[in-house]
Amino acid sequence: MSENGWPADRIDTGSAHSARIYDYLLGGKDHYRADQEAGEALRREWPSLPVSMRANRDWMHRVVRHLAREEGIGQFLDIGTGIPTSPNLHEIAQAETPAARVVYVDNDPIVLTLSQGLLASTPEGRTAYVEADLRDPAAILGSPELLETLDLGRPVAVTVLAILHFIEGEEEARGLLRRLLEPLPPGSFLALSTATGDFAPEEVGRAAAVYHSRGIPMVLRSADQVARFFDGLELVGPGVTQAHRWRPDPAQGPAVADREVAMYCGVARKPA
């Protein structure tokens, strides 16, 4: 066992992991020295990175509320969940729809170990956790945990948040999304966010280089490239935009400057 009580034989504690870097930069405690060092290197290159990460997290809250409240979605498939940080997606969804069902997916064994925080469902709803990789949609969609939790004959919202920038090829990334949405019925949704260098190209470019130097490929995409992820779907207004500009909630605090947010996002419906 590792010093944190996690199965040491399954965790590479000497290499940084994107989920644990995210945890460190947001003030969490579930990371190792390699993640902390990577986080500090990233912050030196782009001090606004934690601001951008929080903007992405706040956007997740807003989009899940929108999908549950305005679109009537009661089933969610969250891929690339990351280390639990309350409120988690199911808490947001079930606050709107107590019977909502959520399946979380991640490939980091630490997330699996901490998944109890993701499984505290309301009595009316249900949550489940699948240990799988975005690169294997068949394993995700065919997992017993998913099939026991979600009804794939009814609309599902697939959320792919802050994870696609770790998929390098454009065709590969689009293909993965197509395969995830293919078996889902019309009225299902895709919500995604991914990194961009459009608003602070030098600083964000240096941060991406830090990820690369630690064995974590990172692709910065333009608005046009992100828009292509929604080909064949019906974008919900305001379309592809920065995370903090997607239906902002004035109650969330002072406005964030564009140059501090390196995340594009969008939400779209699968048509009939």
pLDDT at 76 over 90: yes
Q: What is the 3-state secondary structure (H, E, C) of 141-193?
A: HCCHHHHHHCCCCCCCEEEEECCHHHCCCHHHHHHHHHHHHCCCCCCCEEEEE
pLDDT band at 1 (very low <50, low <70, confident <90, very high): very low
Cα 34 from Cα 20, distance rounded (Å): 9
Region at 82 (left for phi over 0; alpha for psi -120 to 50; beta for the rest): left
What pLDDT, on the 0 to 100 scale, is given for residue 253? 67
Q: How confident is the model at residue 252 (pLDDT cuts 50, 70, 90)?
A: confident
The whole-angstrom separation of Cα 205 and Cα 201 is 6
Q: What is the CATH number of domain 8-269?
A: 3.40.50.150
Better-predicted residue by pLDDT, 249 or 232: 232
| pLDDT tens per residue across span 100-156 | 999 999 988 888 788 777 788 999 999 999 999 999 999 999 999 999 999 999 999
The Cβ-side half-sphere exposure at 122, using a 13 Å CA radius, reads: 18
pLDDT at position 10 is 59
Q: What is the mean pLDDT of residues 26-46?
A: 91
Say if residue 2's pLDDT is above 70.
no
pLDDT tens across 77-99, in order?
A: 999 998 888 899 999 999 999 99
Confidence of residue 5 (pLDDT cuts 50, 70, 90): very low
Q: How far apart are the first and last CA of the chain?
A: 50
Distant-in-sequence, close-in-space partners of 72: CB < 8 Å, separation ≥ 6:
none
pLDDT range class, residue 6, cuts 50, 70, 90: very low
Residue with tokens 């969804």: 93
Q: Are strands 75-79 and 263-269 parallel, antiparallel or unpaired?
A: unpaired
Query: In this predicted structure, what is the pLDDT of residue 9?
Result: 54
Strand partners, 266: 192
Q: What is the mean pLDDT of residues 150-167?
A: 97
pLDDT digits (tens, 9 = 90+) for 39-62: 999 999 999 999 999 999 999 999
Is the separation of the CB atoms in 184 and 270 below 8 Å? yes
pLDDT score recorded for residue 62? 97
Highest mean pLDDT among 8-12, 193-197, 254-258: 193-197
d(CA 206, CA 98): 43
Average of per-residue pLDDT across 68-80: 97
pLDDT at 218 over 70: yes
pLDDT category of residue 235 using cuts at 50, 70 and 90: very high
Quote the pLDDT of residue 49: 94
In the predicted model, what is the mean pLDDT of the chain? 92
